[in-house]
Amino acid sequence: MGEERLATYSRNVFIPLTNACRNRCGYCAFRSEKPGLLSRTRVRAILEEGARHGCKEALFTLGERPEVHPAIRAELRSMGYATVIEYLYDLCLEAKDLGLLPHTNAGVVDRAELKALGEVNASLGLMLESISERLCGHGMPHEGCPGKWPPARLEVLEEAGRLRIPFTTGILVGIGESYDEVIASLEAIKELHNRHGHIQEVIIQNFKPKRGTPMASVPEPSPLLLLKVFAVARAMLPGIGIQTPPNLNSHWNLTLLYGANDLGGISPVTVDHINPEAPWPGLAGLRQRAADVGFRLRERLPIYPGFVLRGWYPEALGDLVVDATDGSGLVREG
């Protein structure tokens, strides 16, 4: 019998902290001109529900620098916070107290913020999306998005490496980049990892057009192109997890044969608030479709097994990480 092939996922709750954002990506349906901010009570209720359903990850997702919006700034101030990162820090501690490991996607943040978040998160995430500065030009998807300027994102990824924070990044395929730019993006991620060893996974996310956005009529990338990108990413990034999002890529189980080995966060409790039109398939169905191509699903924490084994997690989360994992760094079975 050949060696068992594993694909991993993380059982999570998705907390869309705020849909205020300083950027205006042409494909985004999450950002709102009349944004809200989840109260501590609401966040706690989501966390408690996640804990009841055996979730191990609290995924905090938010627009970038939401305090540029006066209403959000005022709300934060009324709670005693100057920035959303200060609020997040306390919410991460709350998640930890309920037995959940935080993973935060906060967009472009500065070194002090990164350091603070690193103290209370099992890992952090920031999609590179694309190295292409061209996509920030007039009429392009990242026009009017200071946080999508590739050097700004690379600097955050670099700083996270200096701080030894396990990091999730990724590329968005199909937003107008060329194939050479896809390769250049993967190359940039590889170089970062070669310098710091901190990239735990790379998400290969396919663009999906959303109603009501400027890119609503742009076609999705072809399944064949995606398979090619998975294969190239696998070859370029040995030892790094390659994530395929099963609610966005209907051929996700084929991508396992082309190098993907992770399905990302799967929630039994919450929807994908960034892509609410795309529900997560149930775990039983995922297991079956993975088995169809010869893979067995295993649960992981929001920190990848290699980083668990190397002890790359903050002291505050040490007990939770150790209690949840077996000798392989994956979540203990049974």
Report how far apart, in Å, the C-alpha atoms of 135 and of each of 172, 309, 322 are: 12, 39, 42
Which of 11, 12, 31, 106: binder of ligand SF4 (CB under 6 A)?
31
Joined tokens for residue 100 = 């959940």
Q: How far is the CB of 54 from ligand SF4 (least distance, A)?
A: 29
Q: How far is the CB of 152 from ligand SF4 (least distance, A)?
A: 12
Quick check: 24 binds ligand SF4 (CB under 6 A)? yes
In contact, 325 and 8? CB cutoff 8 Å: no
Q: Pick between residue 15 and residue 28 the one whose CB is nearest to ligand SF4.
A: 28
| Cα dihedral across residues 267, 268, 274, 275: positive or negative | positive
Quick check: 290 binds ligand SF4 (CB under 6 A)? no
Q: How far apart are CA 129 and CA 1, in angstroms?
A: 39
Q: How far is the CB of 27 from ligand SF4 (least distance, A)?
A: 7
In contact, 262 and 230? CB cutoff 8 Å: no
**Length of the chain in residues, anyone?**
334
Quick check: 245 binds ligand SF4 (CB under 6 A)? no
Q: How far is the CB of 106 from ligand SF4 (least distance, A)?
A: 10
Q: How far apart are CA 67 and CA 84, in angstroms?
A: 7
Q: Pick between residue 136 and residue 225 the one whose CB is nearest to ligand SF4.
A: 136
Q: How far is the CB of 212 from ligand SF4 (least distance, A)?
A: 13
> Residues 61 to 90: which contact ligand SF4 by CB under 6 A?
63-64
| Cα dihedral across residues 14, 19, 20, 22: positive or negative | positive
Quick check: 172 binds ligand SF4 (CB under 6 A)? no
In contact, 26 and 40? CB cutoff 8 Å: no
Q: Pick between residue 63 and residue 176 the one whose CB is nearest to ligand SF4.
A: 63
Q: Which stretch binds ligand SF4 (CB under 6 A): 23-31, 152-160, 252-260, 301-309?
A: 23-31
Quick check: 30 binds ligand SF4 (CB under 6 A)? yes
> Residues 142 to 171: which contact ligand SF4 by CB under 6 A?
147
Q: Pick between residue 21 and residue 120 the one whose CB is nearest to ligand SF4.
A: 21
Which of 7, 13, 17, 28: binder of ligand SF4 (CB under 6 A)?
28
In contact, 96 and 50? CB cutoff 8 Å: no
Quick check: 13 binds ligand SF4 (CB under 6 A)? no
DSSP helix, strand, coil percent of the chain (3-state; round to 5):
40, 20, 45
φ, ψ at 119 (rounded to 5°)? -75, -20
Half-sphere exposure (Cβ direction) of 109: Cα atoms closer than 13 Å: 26
Q: Pick between residue 62 and residue 92 the one whose CB is nearest to ligand SF4.
A: 62
In contact, 50 and 12? CB cutoff 8 Å: yes
Quick check: 21 binds ligand SF4 (CB under 6 A)? yes
Half-sphere exposure (Cβ direction) of 3: Cα atoms closer than 13 Å: 3
Number of residues engaging ligand SF4 in binding (CB under 6 A): 11
Q: Which residues bind to ligand SF4, rule: CB under 6 A? A: 21, 23-25, 28, 30-31, 63-64, 107, 147
